[in-house]
Chain A
C-alpha cells in the first residue's frame, strides 16, 4: 500500500489513464507539487519578513540607546562620564 495519499485515492480504480477531460493521477501530483512549492515560498517569505523586522528593530533600538547615552553625557557635570553600571 502506498503512503502517497494521492496514489491511494486512485489505487485499484484504474484511474491512471485520461478519460476525456477527467484529471489524471499525474494532474493531482503536479497540483500538489505546485501547492508545496507555494508553501515553501511562503515560509521563506515569512522568514525574510521576521529577519527584516528584527534587523530594523535592532538598528532603531541601537540608535535610540546611542542617542540616550550621548544626551546623558551632554547633561553630565564636567569631569563625569555617563555609562552603564558594571
Chain B
C-alpha cells in the first residue's frame, strides 16, 4: 500500500523532465556491473586472449547488450512495475521516459552492442550476445515471466550467458569450462531469486506475476531453494575438477557453499514467506520470519561474486596453483 510520502515522491519525480540519467537507469546499471564482472572472469579464465583494447571494447559491448535487454524489459513490464513497490520508481512507470522511447532506446543499443561485439571480438560472441538479449527480452520477459512459476529457472539462462560470452570473446569457441561457468550462474539464479520473492511475495501477487511463492506457496518455495542449493554448491566445485579453478577457488567454493547450504536450511526450517509481507516498511525491510530469506538473498550475491573473484585472482595474477584433481575431466 502506498504511503502519503510515497505518492508525493512519485508525483514530484514524475513531473520532472527526463534526464540522460533516466536512460542510464533503464539499463539496470547494477545488473550491468555483475554482467561485466562475470564476463571478465570468463574472459580471463580462457586459455587465449585478445588485444587489451579489443577485449575492453568487447566487454563494453556485452555491458551495452545487457543494458539494452534491461531497457526492453522495463519497457514491456511498465504496467506491472507500476504495481510493485520495488519497481514503481523506474523511469517508465513514473512517466519520465515514454514506453516507446524505452523500446527504441533498447533496440538501438542492442544493435550497436552486437555490431561492436562483431568488430571487436568475433561473430560467434556477437551471435551469443544477440541470443542472450533475445532470450531475456522476449523468452523471459514477454513469454515466461507472467505465465509460469518456472520463469526464473528457464529465464535464468539469460543471466548465465555473460561468462560464456567472455570465454568466446577470447577463444572464439565454447568449451566444457565455459559451460560449467554458465551452469554455475544458471543453478545459482533460482535460490537467489526465490529468496527475494519469499519476502516480496505480496509485491509479486499484486502485480500478478506467478513467482514460485505466489503460485506454489512459501513452503514449496523453501523446499525448492534447499534442493537447488544442494545441487549448486557441489556443482560449483566442478572447475576444480577440470583444472579451471585452483586452490583459492576450491576453498571459496567449498567454504562458501557450506555457508550457502546452512542459510538455505535455515530458510527451509523457517516460516519465511508465510502470510503477510513487509510492504509497510522500508523498501528492503523484512519481518522477523523472513529474515532467513533476506540473509540468503544478500549472501548469495556475495557468494557468486567471491567465486568469480577467486577465478579472476588466480588467472590474472598468475598465481594459479594446480590441485591434485586438476584436469581430471
Contact = CB atoms under 8 A, between A and B. Distances in A.
Interface of A: 21-23, 27-28, 30-32, 34-35, 38, 46, 49-50, 52-53, 56-57, 60
Contacts of B18: 31, 35
Interface residues of B, number: 17
Contacts of B51: 56, 60
B112 interface: yes
B135 to A, nearest CB: 25
B282 interface: no
B282 to A, nearest CB: 24
Interface stretch (B9-17, B75-83, B257-265): B9-17
A13 to B, nearest CB: 14
A49 B116 contact: yes
Given A27-B17, A31-B19, A34-B20, A52 B12 contact: no
A23 B119 contact: no
B54 interface: yes
Contacts of B17: 23, 27-28, 30-32
B107 interface: no
26 contacts: A21-B12, A23-B15, A23-B16, A23-B17, A27-B16, A31-B16, A31-B17, A31-B19, A32-B17, A34-B20, A35-B19, A35-B20, A35-B23, A38-B20, A38-B23, A46-B112, A49-B120, A50-B119, A52-B53, A52-B57, A53-B57, A53-B116, A56-B51, A56-B54, A57-B119, A60-B51
Contact of A21 (B15, B53, B54): B15
A22 B14 CA distance: 10
B20 A53 contact: no
A64 B60 CA distance: 26
Contacts of B119: 50, 53, 57
Contact of A53 (B12, B23, B120): B120
A34 B119 CA distance: 30
B13 to A, nearest CB: 11
Contacts of A57: 119
Interface string B12-53: 100111111001000000000000000000000000000101
Contacts of B57: 49, 52-53
B268 to A, nearest CB: 48
A81 to B, nearest CB: 31
Given A23-B15, A53-B116, 10 more contacts: A21-B15, A22-B15, A23-B17, A31-B17, A31-B18, A34-B19, A35-B19, A38-B20, A53-B57, A56-B51
Contacts of A21: 12, 15
A56 B54 CA distance: 8
A22 B323 CA distance: 65
Interface string B84-114: 0000000000000000000000000000100
B114 to A, nearest CB: 13
6 nearest interchain CB pairs? A31-B17, A38-B20, A28-B17, A53-B119, A35-B20, A56-B51
Interface in B147-189: none
A31 B97 CA distance: 12
A34 B53 CA distance: 29
A37 B158 CA distance: 33
Among B17, B20, B51, B57, residue most surrounded by chain A Cβ atoms (within 10 Å): B17
Contacts of B16: 23, 27, 31
Contacts of A50: 119
Contacts of A28: 17
A31 to B, nearest CB: 4
B54 A53 contact: yes
Interface string B186-206: 000000000000000000000
A7 to B, nearest CB: 13
A75 to B, nearest CB: 26
Contacts of A46: 112
